[in-house]
Amino acid sequence: MREKLMKPGPARDELKREEALELYYYMRLNRSLEELLVRLFRQNKIVGGLYGSLGQEATSVGTAYALGKGDWIAPMIRNVGALLVRGYKPRDIMTQYMARVTSPTQGKDGTSHFGDLKVRHVVSPISMLGDLIPVMTGVAMAGRYLGQKIVAMTWIGDGGTSTGAFHEGMNLAAVQRAPLVVVVENNQWAYSTPVSRQAPLVNFADRARAYGIASYAVDGNDVAAVVHTTREAVERARAGAGPVLIESKTMRMTGHAQHDAAEYVPQEMFDYWKKRDPLSRYEKYLHEHKLWDEKEKAAIHARIDRELAADLEFAESSAFPPAELAEQGVYCQGCHSIEADWRRPKEELMPPKSSVKAEWVVKNFGAIEAAGGDAADRAEQQDSTIEPPASPPAQTDRKPKMATPPQRRARR
C-alpha cells in the first residue's frame, strides 16, 4: 500500500516529567562527552579519527529513546547519543577512541565499531554506508520468525541514501513487511557535498514512496517532536504495518571529522542553524512547560561533570592492550554462544502447521488494461491448485506444412 509523506500531528501525550528530564540528561551528556573527546583529540590521546554529532543530539537521543528495551539498534558514527540511551557509559566511548584495553573491543578499534548482542541489542556499525539496512532487515525478520515483538532501528545520512545497499535493503524490508525503522539524518552535507547536489528532492522521506511504505519528516532539532514521531513509527512497525522511514532534518555543525574544517559550508548557514540549536531549544521547552527549575538544571549539569571526570580518570589510567591480545578474539572458537530466543512453538514453522495454500494469482496480472483485471478476478474465484502438465501431442509421420513466405516487392 502506497502511503503519502506523513507529518505527525499534535502529540497525544506530553512528555512525562521524568522522561523530559532524562532526555535532557542524555542530550547534555552527549554534547559534553564529545566536547571532552575533542580536547583529548587535540592532546593526541585519541587514536584515529573523531566524528562528532554537534547539532544532531536530538535526533540520535530522541529516536533511540522511543524504542523498547528488547528492540535492536545499529548506530552510525554520529549516534553516540543512541549508545548512551542504550546503557553505554562515557568511559566506554572514551576508552574506545583512546584504544585502551578496557574498551568494548579491548583496544582493537579506535572508533565506534563495537556492539553488544546479548544485553543491549546493539549491532556494531559498518563503515560501508547503507550496509546496515539489509543487516537490520534481517534482524527484524529474525525477531518475527522467533515470535518476538521487536523493532529494529538504524540510521543513515542523506548521502547514504544514494547507495545501492540502501535501496536494496529498503526494498527487501518493504516486501517482507519487516518491523524496521530507518532514520535518515539529513544533516545537509554528505562530507562536502550539499543536499541539493545529491538528489532532486525537498524531502528524503519521499524515497519511501518507491517502496510503498510509510514515511515521516520531522524537525530533527526538536527532541520532543523526534520522540513523538519515532514512537508512532515504532508502533506502526511493531503492529505489523511494515517498515517506516523517518527523515530528521538537522545540521552537522562541524566538519565531517576533526580533520575537516568545513570551510565549504557558508557561514550564514552555520548562523541559521545555530539559532536552532537542539539543546537551547529544549531548555526553552522545559522552562515553558514548567518541567524543571534552575536548581534541577544545575543538578543535572553537576551530575554530568562528576560522571565525566570519574570516567576520564578511568580511561586515562587504563593500559593499552598487550601485544599478545592481537591474536585473540579474532575468530570465535567457542568463546561465546548466542542461541535463538524462541517465543513461539517451533512446530508452527514445520509442516504440516506451516503448510499454507499455494497461490500464484497476481491482481490484474501486473497489467494496466481492464481485461487483465477481469481475467484475474475470474482466476481468483477458482481453486489455485497446480494443474498437471498437458500431455504432449501424439507423434505422426506427417511433416508439418511450412507457411509460404510473402513475396517481396522488387526494389527499383
| pLDDT tens profile 281-308 | 999 999 999 999 999 999 999 999 999 9
Can you read off the three cell numbers belonging to residue 292?
524543571
CA dihedral 269, 273, 275, 281 (to 10 degrees): 180
Question: What does the pLDDT read at residue 385?
Answer: 41
Q: How far apart are CA 231 and CA 183, in angstroms?
A: 12
Question: What does the pLDDT read at residue 389?
Answer: 43
Number of domains into which the chain is organized: 1
Is 395 a domain residue? no
Under the banding of pLDDT at 50, 70 and 90, the label for residue 368 is: confident
Is 100 a domain residue? yes
The β-bridge partners of 189 are 194
Is 64 a domain residue? yes
For residue 121, give Cα distances in angstroms to 99, 141, 232, 258: 23, 15, 21, 29
Contact 233, 181 (CB under 8 A): yes
- Per-residue DSSP letters for 284-337? HHHHHTT---HHHHHHHHHHHHHHHHHHHHHHHHSPPPPGGGGGSSSS-SSS--
Tens of pLDDT, residue by residue over 18-76, are 999 999 999 999 999 999 999 999 999 998 889 999 999 999 999 999 999 999 999 99
- Enumerate residues 6+ apart whose C-beta is below 8 A from 228: 8, 11, 12
Is 393 a domain residue? no
Question: What does the pLDDT read at residue 382?
Answer: 54
User: Is the pLDDT at 387 greater than 80, yes or no?
Assistant: no
Most confident range (mean pLDDT) of 23-27, 263-267, 345-349, 366-370 is 23-27
Contact 230, 198 (CB under 8 A): no
User: Is the pLDDT at 172 greater than 70, yes or no?
Assistant: yes
Domain that residue 29 falls in:
5-327
Is 388 a domain residue? no
Helix 17-42 × helix 90-97 angle, to 10°: 20
Least confident of 2-6, 132-136, 246-250: 2-6
Nearest Cα residue to 143 out of 71, 195, 89: 71
Q: How far apart are CA 232 and CA 244, in angstroms?
A: 10
Read off the CATH number of the domain in which 235 is found.
3.40.50.970
Q: How far apart are CA 217 and CA 210, in angstroms?
A: 16
Nearest Cα residue to 314 out of 41, 25, 101: 101
User: What element of type H or E holds 218?
Assistant: strand 214-219
Question: What does the pLDDT read at residue 379?
Answer: 55
User: Is the pLDDT at 10 greater than 80, yes or no?
Assistant: no
Tens of pLDDT, residue by residue over 208-228, are 999 999 999 999 999 999 999
Q: How far apart are CA 305 and CA 268, in angstroms?
A: 33
Is 385 a domain residue? no
Can you read off the three cell numbers belonging to residue 286?
522545559
Least confident of 60-74, 247-261, 360-374: 360-374
User: Is the pLDDT at 255 greater than 50, yes or no?
Assistant: yes
Tens of pLDDT, residue by residue over 110-120, are 888 999 998 99
Q: How far apart are CA 314 and CA 247, in angstroms?
A: 38
Average pLDDT score, the chain: 87
Can you read off the three cell numbers belonging to residue 166?
540502501
Contact 123, 143 (CB under 8 A): no
Is 238 a domain residue? yes
Question: What does the pLDDT read at residue 214?
Answer: 97
Under the banding of pLDDT at 50, 70 and 90, the label for residue 353 is: confident
User: Is the pLDDT at 352 greater than 90, yes or no?
Assistant: no
Q: What is the pTM of this model?
A: 0.83
Is 37 a domain residue? yes
